[in-house]
Amino acid sequence: MATRSLWRTRAKLAVAATAFCGGGAAAAAIATSDDPATALKVFTIVPRRLLRDSITAASIVFDYEYSLWGLPEGSNERAKIKHEVHLRSARKLQELCFRNGGIYIKLGQHIGQLEYLVPQEYVQTMRASMLNRCPVSTYDQVCEVFKKELGDTPDKVFDEFDPKPIASASLAQVHVARTHDGQKVAVKVSIFVQHTHMTDTAAADQATVEFLVNTLHWLFPSFDYRWLVAEIRESLPKELDFLIEAKNSVKCLENFRKLSPHIADYVYAPKVHWSLSTSKLLTMEFMDGAQVNDVITIRRLGIQPNEVARLVSRTFAEMIFKHGFVHCDPHAANLLVRPLPSGKRSIFGKKKPQLILLDHGLYKELDFSTRFSYASLWRALVFADANEIKVNSVKLGAGEDLYALFAGILTMKPWNRVIDPAVDHLVLKGTDSDRSELQMYASQYFPQISKLLSRLPRNILLMLKTNDCLRAVNNSLLQGSSLETFLIIGKVSSEAVFEAKMMQKKSLFRWLIIQLEELLLEARLLAMQMALWLLQVKKALTWT
C-alpha cells in the first residue's frame, strides 16, 4: 500500500506542477500577442488543454503502476495485463491528441513511427489514425482563411470548390477545386490560421508539451522524450509556411533531374499554382494515384508492389546519399503511386510505377561530411563491416558506448545479426516473432535508447524518422523487408562514397586505390545479387 500511496502523491505532483508551470509558460507566450481579443481567446483555451494534458498523463502513469503492481516480472498474467494497459493508454493518448489537435497530432504521428522505443500497441493505434484521418475544420473557417489570404471566398477564387476535405492532417486539410480555366487542383489550407488565436495557441502548446515531458523525465529519469519535443519545435515553423513547402517540391525535382537523371522520370511532385498560393494556402495540381500502402489498388493498376518498394528505396537513397536534400516525412499518406505516364512496362508486361511525393514541408539538408559518414555507415551495415560501422556511427554522434545500439535502431536488428556475414542478415520478415523480439529489445534497452536519441544531432534524428517511415512503407508493400531493398541501399551508398572520395583524391596512387575499392565493392554487390536470384529461384521451386 505504501507504493500505491507514494505513486498517488507523485501523480498529484505531476498534475499540479504541469498545470502551474505549464500555465506560466503558456501565459508568457500569450503575453507576446499584439491582439488583446486574440490573447483573451487563448487565455480561455490554454487552461483547459493544460488540465486535459495533466489528467491524461497522470491517468496513464497511474494505470501502469496500479494495474501491474504485485504481478511477477516475466509472468503470463503480467504480459496480458501490460498489453491491456498499453492499449488503454494508447487510446487515451490518441483521444488527447485529437481533442487538442495541431501540434499534439504531430506528436502522435511521431510516436507512431517509434517501433524501436514504444510498445506496438501505441505504434498501431497512432498509425491507424494520425496520418490522414484527423479532425477537420468547418467550411466557414476555411472561408476565413481564403478571405485573409486571397481576399475572397473559395467559390469566388475557384470555379468549383468542394467544401468537404479529402484529407486532414496535423497542420492542414486538403480540398478539391477547379480553376476558372478548368484545371483540377488540390488546395491545402492551414488550420493554424482558421482561427485568429491558433498561432498563439501553437506557441503555448509547445511550451505545455515541453514542460509535461520535462516533468515526467524528472519523476522518471528513464522516461526521456525531450529530444522528440525539440525536434518538433525546430521543424514546426518551416512546416507552417506553405511557400517553403512549394519551393522544396521544386528543388526536389530539380535535384532528380540534375543529380539522378536515370530515375527522374519515375519521381514526381504536383505542380504549384503560384498565383493561388500563400504561406497559409497552397494550390497544387491534383494527383490521381494509389496510396503507397494500398497493395490491392496498386495491383489493380497493373503494378507490382515489389517494383514500388524498389522505387521507394531507390528514390530516398538517392535523396539521402547523393542529393543531401531529404523529404523527412515519407509516411504512407504522403506517397502516391500511379503507372508511369509514358506507358513503359517491365519485361513481364507489368506497368512501371511512378512515385508521387506529397507534403514537402519537412526537408533536411545534409552537409557533405554528414552525408559522407551516413552513406559510409549504411554501406558498412549492408556489408556487415563492424569496424566501419563503429567509425561512422561515432562520427555521426552515437559515441563509442552506443554505436552498436545505433546500428540496431537503423536496421531493427540486434548487433550479432548486424555483423552476421549472411547475405540476408538485415532482412526483416515481418513475423510475430520478429515484432516480439524488437519489443523485447526496446523494453530491455529503453534507458540507453533514450540516452542515444538525446545525444544524436537533429539532422540524424530526422534521418531516423525518415528511415522509420520507409520501413513502415516497405512492410506494407512486402510484409517485411527484402534483400533487394538493402542491395539498392548498398549500391547507392557505395556510389555516393565513391563519388565523395573521387572529389577528395590528391594523387594518382590515391585514385587507383579508390578505383580498386570500387571494383571490389561492385564484385561483392554482384555476388549478393546472384545470391538473391538463387534464393528467389529456390523459393519459386518450393512453392511449386
Catalytic residues: 329
Query: Who's near 421: CB < 8 A, 6+ residues apart?
Result: 384
- For residue 355, the cross-strand partners are 267, 337
Query: Who's near 541: CB < 8 A, 6+ residues apart?
Result: none
CA dihedral (196, 197, 200, 206) positive or negative: negative
C-alpha cell at 452: 542515444
Please state, in angstroms and rounded to a whole number, the distance separating the CA atoms of residues 41 and 37: 6
Distances (CA, A) of 248 to 279, 282, 311, 384: 13, 13, 20, 35
Please state, in angstroms and rounded to a whole number, the distance separating the CA atoms of residues 177 and 323: 34
Distance of CA 119 to the CA centre of its chain: 17
Residue 192 contacts residue 102 (beta carbons within 8 Å): yes
Please state, in angstroms and rounded to a whole number, the distance separating the CA atoms of residues 286 and 435: 38
Report helix angle 386-395 to 368-382, nearest 10. 160
Please state, in angstroms and rounded to a whole number, the distance separating the CA atoms of residues 313 and 305: 12
C-alpha cell at 518: 570500387
Distance of CA 18 to the CA centre of its chain: 28
Please state, in angstroms and rounded to a whole number, the distance separating the CA atoms of residues 89 and 64: 9
Residue 73's CB is within 10 A of a number of other CB atoms, namely: 7
Distances (CA, A) of 512 to 133, 185, 322, 506: 55, 53, 22, 11
Query: Who's near 523: CB < 8 A, 6+ residues apart?
Result: none
Please state, in angstroms and rounded to a whole number, the distance separating the CA atoms of residues 304 and 290: 12
Please state, in angstroms and rounded to a whole number, the distance separating the CA atoms of residues 238 and 50: 26
Distance of CA 248 to the CA centre of its chain: 17
Angle, vertex CA 207, rays to CA 205 and CA 209, nearest 5: 65
Cell 505542380 sits on residue: 271
What would you measure as the largest C-alpha separation in the chain, in angstroms?
76
Please state, in angstroms and rounded to a whole number, the distance separating the CA atoms of residues 117 and 442: 5
Nearest Cα neighbor of 428 from 451, 408, 406, 400 is 408
Distance of CA 233 to the CA centre of its chain: 15
Cell 502551474 sits on residue: 20
Residue 209 contacts residue 223 (beta carbons within 8 Å): no
C-alpha cell at 48: 483547459
Size of the chain, expressed as the number of residues it contains: 544
